[in-house]
Amino acid sequence: MRLNKKFSGVLILSACLISLAGAQGIQPITPAVIHFGAVGEGRPIEGEIKFRNDGTSPLTIETVESSCGCTVSHYANKRIVPGDTGRVFFRIETRGFRGPIQKTIDVYFAPPAQQELHYLIQATVFRELLVRPDTLYLPSAEKGSRSETHSDSLVLMNRGTHPLVLRSVFTAIKGLTLKPSATRLPPGESIVLRVQFKPKAALGAGPGQLIIRTNHPVFDELVVPVYFQNHTDSSAMPLPGKRP
């Protein structure tokens, strides 16, 4: 008999909770977990969270909180009358992130609802525009060397979903020239930058850089460090990362 009373008490409590939720009438429309898949670094993630007031009384959004400053959220209407749909808009800045990310948005309702909606936003951030190698090492003009010109290459890769255009390649290093294989860079394709270097023309110069400019909306300029040595004596130090 006691067991039956306990079981009846559980049923009554459950029925009260269901009845209370129904009276408050907050019906989520957007799934609790939102996955945006692969997103290029620097491109914002934008979306909205929707829920409906299925109750008989107006709902009031008390506050909306996000997990970090890179997530901005706002809502159009603070008060949602019965039958209407509430919307919370969000924007996540992805610059500076790489790999899987997770951000949360919490929606709190004012009394008498006293309910909360919690959402998890997921994405995998990747770099759309890459240059390989990301550092260029050039040989020194050693005394007695018969090689007048050194040839090398860089590869500019578009891993995004939007076509890009190579606008220019610039360097102030004397004796160093670059010739791109193309200027248009479709999604999933690459451009080869052919490097020609005359070591003796850069005699005595220090490290420099290459500047690659494209029409990418975020990373429109890529900088490639260039290291080389140009000494005519045999005591020249090795290149960075190279053994003597």
Q: How high is the mean pLDDT of the chain?
A: 81
Structure tokens at 94: 């992805």
Q: What is the mean pLDDT of residues 111-124?
A: 89
Read off the pLDDT of residues 1-21 as tens digits, 9 standing for 90 and up: 444 444 334 333 333 333 344
pLDDT at 141: 60
Longest dimension (CA), the chain: 105
Domains of the chain, earliest start first: 26-126 (2.60.40.10), 129-227 (2.60.40.10)
Q: Which span out of 2-11, 109-118, 123-132, 201-210 was modeled with the highest average pLDDT?
A: 123-132
**Higher-confidence residue: 61 or 69?**
61
Whose tokens are 């969270």? That residue is 49
**196 strand-pairing partners:** 151, 177
pLDDT of 119 over the 70 cut: yes
Q: How many CB atoms lie under 10 A from the CB of residue 139?
A: 15
DSSP codes joined into one string, the chain:
-HHHHHHHHHHHHHHHHHHHHHHHTEEE-S-SEEEEEEEETTSPEEEEEEEEE-SSS-EEEEEEEESSTTEEEEES-SEE-TT-EEEEEEEE--TT--EEEEEEEEEEE-TTT--EEEEEEEEEEE-SEEEESSSEE-----TT-----EEEEEEEEE-SSS-EEEEEEEE--TTEEEEES-SEE-TT-EEEEEEEE-GGGGTT---EEEEEEE--SS--EEEEEEE----SSTTPPPPTT---
